[in-house]
Amino acid sequence: MSIRGKATSLDIAHLAGVSQPTVSRALRGSPMVNEETRQRILAIAEQLNYKVDKNASNLRTQHTGTLALLFFEDPTPDDSAINPFFLSMLGSITRACASRGYDLLISFQQLSNDWQADYEDSKKADGLILLGYGDYLQSRSRLQRLVEQGTHFVRWGAALPGQPGVSIGCDNFQGGCDITSHLLQQGRRRIAFLGHASNHYPEFLERHRGYCAALQGAGLAADADLQVDAVTTEQSGYEAVGALLEQGCDFDAVFAASDLIAIGAMKALHERGLRVPQDVSVVGFDDIPMASFVNPGLSTVQQDTKLAGSILVDSLIRLVSGETVESRTIPVRLTLRGSSRVV
């Protein structure tokens, strides 16, 4: 085989039938490339008299001074495809990077097998901050692959034992318990929970566990008929309340696992002639900016996005520096407004 001019890694990739990042990983001995593919790439490189540019290789091993923030593409009514809660966190992450002398690269997570590796292999960034993940059980294998290939990353999510990598999250259990206790103090006894309560969505599951604990503390049992699966969209909350009403379920309060679900629930109640909070109290979780502008204002659990952004950035920088970093849970607090309190 012959190549005009000096052979490049792209030439090797074409002849080997693989991607250029795969060639780069094979030439530097990455365990991500299986032995058969590695040997084929090495043989082609030898035939082409390809020489690795040591100076370029050394440059690639240096820090870029850039971190990558990758959003999960959420279903939204607009073109943003970004959960409003994560937009709130974006500002704090940007400020934290700037104060520590880092640039921030922002993009969406891709679902290919090696998209995460490409960020560090191409040296676009020293490490990754992951916001959102969809179904956790489906995303877990990708997180585990990041750990195995040595990618520096932190993620916002429930910080629970046995999870791959470093997770920073709020105290979902305590938040769920506190907001449910607030509803109980308002005299509510038939409290519906809107949100998935399974291992597919660990944050929602922890919020549901807190909800159940508060009910138990008041001598009440959680009614399975009052739990309706919902994802973080207004439409999902709207449909969940519709399902409860169509089934004839008796409830006097709604604990929505996110503010967006709660806002959709409030719309459904209003359309059916039910008053919030006189007939049904409604609470959410997150305290997104929209929560204070709906009518009535939404009572919710506030996650500290400023603190979260700072911890995410600091944790990732420490990982890049070779330090040991543990997952961490940060406290929450209630923000009470008119949706849950009858004056």
Confirm if 319 and 146 have CB atoms less than 8 A apart. no
Lowest-pLDDT choice from 5-19, 21-35, 328-342: 21-35
Average pLDDT, rounded, for the chain: 88
pLDDT at site 107: 87
Per CATH, 9-60 and 66-170+305-331 having the same topology is answered: no
Class of domain 66-170+305-331 as given by CATH:
alpha beta
The domain locations on the chain are: 9-60, 66-170+305-331, 172-303
Residue 68 is predicted with a pLDDT of: 92
Architecture per CATH, 9-60: Orthogonal Bundle (1.10)
pLDDT at residue 6 greater than cutoff 80: no
Give mean pLDDT, residues 174-193. Answer: 98
CA distances from 174 to 12, 115, 132, 300, 304 (A): 55, 35, 21, 13, 14
Annotate 177-209 with b (16+ C-beta within 10 A) or e (fewer).
bbbbbbbbebebeebbbbbbbeeebbbbbbbbb
pLDDT > 90? residue 304: yes
Return the higher-pLDDT residue of 71 and 171. 171
Instruction: Say whether the peptide bond before residue 289 is cis (omega within 30 degrees of 0).
Output: no
Residue 59 has pLDDT above 60, yes or no: no
Classify domain 172-303 at the CATH class level. alpha beta
- How far is Cα 74 from Cα 201, in angstroms, rounded to an integer? 14
- Listed ranges 9-13, 55-59, 269-273; the one with the highest mean pLDDT: 269-273
